[in-house]
Chains A and B, each alone.
Chain A
């Protein structure tokens, strides 16, 4: 109890280069389970606008990570979260969670989902639509938390209490997915250096 009557959280360690063995074994061709978990955050019939988000993750030397793994978590089209939202049940066809390994050759990652609605902050003010991302890889000692917001939601973004907490306003744009086509967004992540993506402690 370390003298405080609380336990201490188990410390993080890197996921390492072979994270796929445990989390996406079927992607490697290892048939221990019938399928990998988290292949899609939605099922047929999910309400809302279908969108695709693609991107890469680059390191401080500008190299694209080909061994990175991301997980996404989001609300349904009404802003209700599937897992334990105290406001009530979410769209049954939105599971909200996806696991995305970057392509082993190109490092591109891709998420096909629906655009989430707005959910409130603890003080009741609405956050802008966003998809939470958790990023692990070799060389990342603790999973990085960031969020994908959408550049075509400028009104909601301007009112989002989370984005408002970013002191250096020019860094907000690192969290805005660029609209590159109808329902298609681009979100490139920079771990370090010029254009470094904002990472959160939430």
Chain B
């Protein structure tokens, strides 16, 4: 089991809390500085999830709602979860959620006029393998409008929630699709500097596409690394 303190987060790489282009952030951003100190056991430990809690179709959003296939562009989304030391992070829970092919979410608060797909729920989950790999099958979500600017549209995206081996690694992010012209126009994507934003853009992966069935996109995820405390823990003289 991993232990030891986490590397501090690079808060200049993550989005700032206060990003006026994304209007809701203006009243939901703390105005006082974060109180900073090194991680403690409270962050270095975290919940453990086993593959045994998963159902056989939990990572297949094409079929996991009713068993009948959802409408839209069938895709595989896959990748690896690594830490900042480039080590695979096995056994971590990944949960995703997304709109359907028309950009409509199955949520009581989404009133967009595009219809629901009766065979699409919009959530999936999996646990990474021993080499940190994961895979989902889903349909490509549509873009949708949102009340921010007068004519703002979210790019196609999939929300990702990722656990690590410690609660201090907890991360929620969004995956975008290579080549989508809405990414550069999106106030939420633009809460990030261009280089950081690029880290969320999944490239098309033809090697993983399934001929006559599904295209594929690759999205690797990096979690906070842990400081190597090996030498500090060594007994005197070793």
Contacts and interface: CB of A to CB of B under 8 A. Distances in A.
Interface stretch (A9-17, A48-56, A107-115, A151-159): A9-17
A81 B167 CA distance: 11
Nearest to A196: B32
Give the dominant DSSP class at A's interface: loop
B167 A134 contact: yes
A192 B191 contact: no
A202 B45 contact: no
Interface string B147-179: 000000000000101100111101111100000
Interface string B29-44: 1111011111111111
How many A residues are at the interface, by size bracket? 35 or more
Contact of B223 (A9, A59, A200): A9
Given A19-B97, A162-B37, A202-B38, A33 B55 contact: yes
B173 A13 contact: yes
Contacts of A82: 45, 47-48
A3 interface: no
How many B residues are at the interface, by size bracket? 35 or more
A142 B225 contact: no
Contact of B45 (A7, A71, A85, A130): A85
A8 B19 contact: no
Given A85-B45, A165-B37, A6 B225 contact: yes
A97 B46 contact: yes
B42 A119 contact: yes
Contact of B167 (A25, A85, A132, A162): A132
A181 interface: no
A127 B42 CA distance: 10
Contact of A86 (B3, B19, B167): B3
Nearest to A142: B14
Contacts of A121: 40
A192 B27 CA distance: 7
A11 B31 contact: no
Contact of B1 (A38, A84, A134): A84
A144 B17 CA distance: 9
Contacts of B13: 8-9, 11
B24 to A, nearest CB: 3
A197 B28 CA distance: 12
A134 B27 contact: no
A192 B30 contact: yes
Contact of B199 (A11, A25, A166, A192): A11
Contacts of B41: 75, 81, 85, 119-120
B46 A73 contact: yes
A65 B197 CA distance: 27
A183 interface: no
Contacts of B42: 73-75, 81, 119, 127, 130, 132, 147, 202
Nearest to B93: A37
Contacts of B10: 8-9
B106 A21 contact: yes
Nearest to B5: A122
Contacts of B123: 21-22, 25, 30, 32-33
A142 B30 CA distance: 11
Give the top 6 A-B pairs by smallest Cβ distance, nearest first.
A22-B97, A139-B24, A139-B28, A97-B47, A81-B45, A141-B15
Given A32-B121, A85-B41, 18 more contacts: A7-B83, A8-B199, A9-B9, A12-B172, A14-B22, A18-B110, A22-B97, A22-B123, A23-B161, A60-B26, A71-B170, A83-B166, A84-B2, A104-B108, A141-B15, A142-B14, A165-B35, A202-B43
Interface of A: 1, 6-23, 25, 28, 30, 32-34, 37-38, 59-61, 63, 65, 67, 71, 73-75, 81-86, 95-97, 104, 119-122, 127, 130, 132, 134, 136-145, 147, 162, 165-167, 171, 191-193, 196-202
7 contacts: A7-B84, A21-B98, A81-B45, A132-B42, A141-B14, A191-B29, A196-B30
